[in-house]
Amino acid sequence: MIELRQAGKTYRVDGRDIPALQPTDLRVERGEIFGLIGHSGAGKSTLLRLINRLEEPSAGRIVVDGEDVTALDAAGLRAFRRRVGMIFQHFNLLSSKTVADNIGMPLKLAGSFSRRQIAERVDSLLARVGLEAHAGKYPAQLSGGQKQRVGIARALATEPKILLCDEATSALDPQTTAQVLQLLDGINRELGLTIVLITHEMDVIRRVCDRVAVMDAGRIVELGPVGDVFLHPQHPTTRRFVLEAEQIDEHEQRADFAHVAGRILRLTFRGEATYAPLLGTVARETGVDFSILAGRIDHIKDTPYGQLTIALVGGDIDAAQHRLAAAEVHLEVLRA
Ligand SMILES: Nc1ncnc2c1ncn2[C@@H]1O[C@H](COP(=O)(O)OP(=O)(O)OP(=O)(O)O)[C@@H](O)[C@H]1O
C-alpha cells in the first residue's frame, strides 16, 4: 500500500517558488490500478515521481508497505526502487542495446544475478509481453507499441510490487493503446501488481483503473471509484474530462432539445440494469411514449453501463418518471 501523508513539492527556479503539488494525503491500496488524471501542469508527474523519490518531497512523507520511503538512505533507496518499476511516455530505452539487453539491464545493474539467470528471466519476460521474436532487435527497429512492451518487460525485470506508469500510452495510436492497457490489466490481475498510472485521457482511466484522482493546479479535486467519478462527475475539471471522453458538446446537445417535445430525462444504468427491459415495461404500464435522443452503452473496466437521454410524451409522465426513479437507474431531469 502506498501512502502520501501531507506530501508536497515546491520547485525553486531562479529564486522563484513553483508550487507543483500542495500538501496531499493519498492512499493507494495494494493490488489496485489507480489513475491520476489532470491537464498539463496539474502536478501528476510530480506526484508520481514522489512515490519512488525521483523527486524529493519538500514536505510530508511517503510510506510504502509501512516503510517510510522519505527516510531511506542511498542504499535503502536503491533496494526500494527495485520493488518499484516505472514506464515512460517515450519509453526511455537504450538505443545501442538490443531488446533482450534492455530488458536484462536492471538485473545486470543489481549485480547479484548470473548471466544464465538473467537470460532465463529475459526469456520469460519476452514471452509475457509477446516479443519472443524480437529479442535481438534494436529499439529503432520496433513500433511504438513494441517499444512500450520492452519498457514494461524491463520494468518487471526485478519483480517489483508496484508499477508506475508516466503517460505510458500518450505516444501511441488508439489500437496500440488498447493493447498496452490490456497488457497492464493482465499484469495487475496475474501478478497482483499495484499500478499507478497518469494520463490526460478519461478513456484510459475508464478502461483499466479501479479508482481515480482528478488533479487540478497541484491539488486532488476529486477522488473515487471510476464508476462514480465517470458517471457522476462533481468537479468542473472532471466534467470536462468526461465530456471530452464522450465527445459530447453540452451546448450543442441542449440546443438540439429545443425542437423536441415532452419531458427530457437522462438515465444512467450500471451493471445488470444496463440490459434490463425497463423502458418498454414502464412505457406499457404508464401509456407514455418515449424517443431516444442520445445514448451509449459501454464498459467501465468490467462493468457495463448505459446512458440514455430520452423524451417522454403522452400518458402519465409523472408516474413513468417515478417508476424509473424507483428502479436501479440514476435519473436526471434535463427539461421538466
Ligand atoms: N523540475 C522542475 N523544475 C521546475 N518546475 C517544475 C519541474 N517539474 C515540474 N515543474 C512545474 O511543476 C508544475 C507541475 O508539473 P507536473 O509535470 O507535475 O505536471 P503534470 O500534470 O504531470 O503535467 P504534464 O501532463 O504536462 O506532464 C508545473 O507548473 C511545472 O512547470
What are the pLDDT digits (tens) for 203-248?
999 999 999 999 999 999 999 999 999 999 999 999 999 888 776 6
In tens, the pLDDT along 160-214 reads 999 999 999 998 999 999 999 999 999 999 999 999 999 999 999 999 999 999 9
Residue nearest to atom 25 of ligand 1 (CA): 40
Report pLDDT for 251. 59
CATH number of 2-244: 3.40.50.300
**Do residues 49 and 11 make contact, with C-beta atoms less than 8 angstroms apart?**
no
Q: Does residue 42 line the site of ligand 1, with CB under 6 A?
A: yes
CA 101 to chain centroid:
30
> pLDDT value at position 289?
92
Report the DSSP pairing between strands 329-335 and 263-270.
antiparallel
What distance separates the 2 farthest-apart alpha carbons in the chain? Answer: 78
Nearest protein CA to atom 24 of ligand 1, as residue: 40
Ligand 1, atom 4, lies closest to the CA of 11
**Cα angle at 152 between 132 and 55, to 5 degrees?**
155
Phi, psi of 128 (to 5 degrees): -60, -40
Q: Which atom of ligand 1 is nearest to the CA of 42?
A: 21
For the chain, where do the domains classified as CATH 3.30.70.260 start and end? Answer: 256-335
> What local confidence, expressed as pLDDT, does residue 49 receive?
96
Ligand 1 atom, smallest distance to 200 CA: 25
Ligand 1 centroid to 120 CA: how many Å?
39
Nearest residue by C-alpha to atom 3 in ligand 1: 11
CA 57–ligand 1 middle distance (angstroms): 14
Cβ of 95 closer than 6 Å to ligand 1, yes or no, is no
The CATH architecture annotation of domain 256-335 reads 2-Layer Sandwich (3.30)
Residue with CA at minimum distance from ligand 1 atom 18: 43
Tell me the C-alpha distance between 66 and 73, whole Å: 16
- Please work out whether the CB of residue 74 comes within 6 Å of at least one atom of ligand 1: no
Position 252 scores a pLDDT of 58
Task: Please give the ipTM for the structure prediction.
Answer: 0.96
Residue 335 has a pLDDT of: 87
Return residue ranges of the chain for CATH 3.40.50.300: 2-244
47 CA distance to ligand 1 middle (Å)? 10
Per-residue pLDDT, 199: 95
Give me ligand 1 centre to Cα 40, in Å. 8
Can you tell me the distance from the alpha carbon of 154 to that of 126, in angstroms, rounded to the nearest whole number? Answer: 9
Which residues in the chain land under pLDDT 70? 247-255
CA of 46 relative to ligand 1 center, distance in Å: 6
